[in-house]
Structure 1
């Protein structure tokens, strides 16, 4: 019983310096992306989206933040919204391989889900968030 509790506490402790960095510098993508990744792993995608939205308010059009938000949206099965994020970023940098790859994955996963009788959230997006360093 102690191990899961201590593990959960250490996750929150790991997040605290990232949250502090974002308070000091709201456009700090280097803090926002690992925090969003941790929140997504903790099954708090809404919180991850809030973190990324805050960064995008401070740094609108930041490619890495747009990509990370797209990944979280994909993870949540919100593929059309994710694709809009990737396309917005691609308008700035059309040949970006990370964005192109994530857009292709989103389109493919979205089509697969449409073909399923009971759509389920796909987990493929988690890997893309790792690539958004």
Structure 2
């Protein structure tokens, strides 16, 4: 009920500010990620993906945008697509701990482990995939 009322009253002013920032600078990753988080929190993953796709269109290969999009895809259960994005980003920065951790979490969510990875799969600790580092 609260969600309906909130939606009926319009968007959060912060969301509006973030959208305005993205209109002015389509490559503004510092606006895109918080906006995508807010959209995901409102259960609007499709909109979150659209925001992140817009940033990736403006700045292809932007690591933080790739990671954020992969997190949204994991949240939606689209683990293989997410893992492709993590691997794409890791090709640019192989030692990035955030990307490596998120790939491992994605594999664990899907019930797999990276080939050749002798370490055990990360244990779920009750956090949602959207709470992962971005």
TM-score range, shorter chain: 0.7 to 0.9
Deviations 1:45-75 (A, max 9, x none): 0000000000000011100000000000000
Cα 1:3–1:106 shift into 2, 3 Å: closer
Partner residue of 2:131? 127
Report the TM-score, using the length of structure 2 for normalisation: 0.82
Report the TM-score, using the length of structure 1 for normalisation: 0.82
Partner residue of 2:106? 106
| Whole-angstrom CA distance in 1 between matches of 2:22 and 2:45 | 18
Aligned length: 121
Partner residue of 1:19? 19
- Gaps of at least 5 residues in structure 2 are 113-125
- Larger relative contact order, structure 1 or 2 (CA cutoff 8 Å, min sep 6): 1
RMSD, aligned α-carbons: 2.4
Deviations 1:1-32 (A, max 9, x none): 88973597475222000000000000000000
Residue 87 of structure 1: CA displacement? 0.4
- Gaps of at least 5 residues in structure 1 are 113-121
Partner residue of 1:90? 90
